[in-house]
């Protein structure tokens, strides 16, 4: 089944465009979990069990696991296996921001799709098409190209003006001509105008956006700007405000409340 089909099914089932970022940090998770043998896995499992019918995807960012070395990566593997075993209809996006020349990119693609066994990955497009082909070969997976991030200094290189338009838009226009069905686009949620210009270029492409949730206005603007004409193909990620909403023993229920609130808020601006 293609990523798009899998996404459409879960969006319909859970009435949700919300993606929850699984970015565990041992200094931020509820303290009582630290006595567990694998606190990271248990933390993720609690969040997943509390939100599985409110989301359209989960997005672990691999940096948060790599920070703990091989032990952290074992927790990631357990999390992915748990998701596949119990919630196999929910797509998993590995936020890994990989990218290298062709021969090496093939090794990253093998790692991401064959070892980690996820449904989608974030990738740097900056090395050009030949560096992306090994990813595109996995036709049922989604390759999410990083076009514009939402950090303040992203403007330094991404917004350099070329003939009156920013570099990232020039980049997007080149990507638009690539004939691969499994291209997705990442755009940070802080810039609604950017999201809008990318949506206009890519009317039916799946767009992943992140940093959504902090302010109601941001949610509204990002959803209106990013959604396609039939109210689909936008994945709205939030990590911190959901997964670190509480440090108490009922943190999973607080996560659920936060996820429910954000899911409903997003939906409000679609219909």
The 10 Å CB-count burial string (b at 16+, else e) for 195-207 is: bbbbbeebeebbb
Helix (H), strand (E) at residue 237: strand 234-238
Whose structure tokens read 């690539």?
A: 178
Choice from 99, 184, 213, 226 touching a copy of itself (CB under 8 A): 99
Q: Identify whether 97 is a catalytic site residue.
A: yes
CA dist 144 and 121 (Å) reads: 6
CA 29 to chain centre: 21
d(CA 7, CA 89): 8
Region near a copy of itself per CB under 8 A, out of 34-42, 48-56, 158-166, 257-265: 158-166
Binding a copy of itself by CB under 8 A: which of 1, 34, 162, 214? 162
Residue 126 vs 249, nearer CB to a copy of itself: 126
Q: Closest CB to a copy of itself among 68 and 269?
A: 68
Query: CA–CA separation, 71 vs 69, rounded Å?
Result: 5
| 152 is a site residue for a copy of itself (CB under 8 A) | yes
Q: Is 137 in the site for a copy of itself (CB under 8 A)?
A: no
Angle at CA of residue 66, ends 94 and 124, nearest 5° = 45
Contact 182/139 with Cβ under 8 angstroms? Answer: yes
**Got the DSSP string for 173-186?**
HHHHT---TTEEEE
Binding characters for a copy of itself, 107-136, by CB under 8 A (x = yes): xx-xx---xx-------xxxxxxxx-----
Question: Contacts with a copy of itself: how many residues (CB under 8 A)?
Answer: 53
* Shortest distance, position 207 Cβ to a copy of itself, whole Å: 18
Binding mask 12-41 for a copy of itself (x = CB under 8 A): -----------x-x----------------
Shortest spacing between CB 172 and a copy of itself, in angstroms = 11
Catalytic pick among 97, 196, 220, 257: 97
CB 242, CB 262: distance < 8 Å: yes
Q: Which residues are at the interface with a copy of itself (CB under 8 A)? A: 23, 25, 61, 63-64, 66-70, 73-74, 77, 97-102, 104-105, 107-108, 110-111, 115-116, 124-131, 146, 149-158, 160-162, 167, 170-171, 174
Report, as residue numbers or ranges, the catalytic residues: 97
């Amino acid at each position: 089944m293609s990523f798009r089909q899998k996404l459409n099914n879960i969006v319909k089932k859970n009435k949700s465009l919300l993606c929850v970022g699984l970015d565990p940090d041992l200094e931020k998770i509820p303290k009582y979990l630290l006595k567990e043998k694998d606190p990271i896995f248990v933390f993720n499992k609690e969040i997943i069990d509390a939100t599985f019918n409110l989301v359209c995807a989960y997005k672990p960012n691999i940096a948060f696991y790599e920070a703990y070395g091989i032990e952290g990566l074992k927790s990631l593997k357990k999390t992915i296996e748990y998701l596949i075993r119990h919630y196999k209809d929910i797509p998993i996006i590995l936020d890994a921001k990989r990218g290298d020349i062709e021969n090496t990119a093939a090794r990253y693609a093998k790692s991401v799709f064959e070892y980690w066994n996820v449904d989608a990955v974030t990738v740097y497009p900056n090395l050009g098409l030949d560096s992306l082909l090994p990813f595109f070969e996995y036709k049922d997976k989604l390759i999410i190209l990083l076009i514009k991030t939402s950090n303040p200094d992203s403007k330094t290189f991404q917004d350099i003006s070329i003939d009156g338009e920013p570099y990232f838009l020039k980049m997007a226009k080149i990507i638009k001509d690539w004939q691969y069905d499994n291209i997705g686009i990442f755009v940070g949620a802080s810039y609604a105008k950017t999201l809008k210009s990318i949506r206009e270029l890519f009317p039916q492409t799946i767009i992943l956006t992140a940093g959504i949730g902090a302010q109601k206005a941001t949610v509204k603007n990002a959803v209106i700007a990013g959604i396609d004409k039939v109210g689909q193909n936008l994945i709205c990620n939030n990590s911190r405000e959901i997964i670190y909403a509480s440090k108490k023993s009922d943190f999973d229920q607080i996560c659920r409340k936060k996820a429910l609130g954000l899911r409903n808020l997003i939906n409000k601006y679609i219909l």
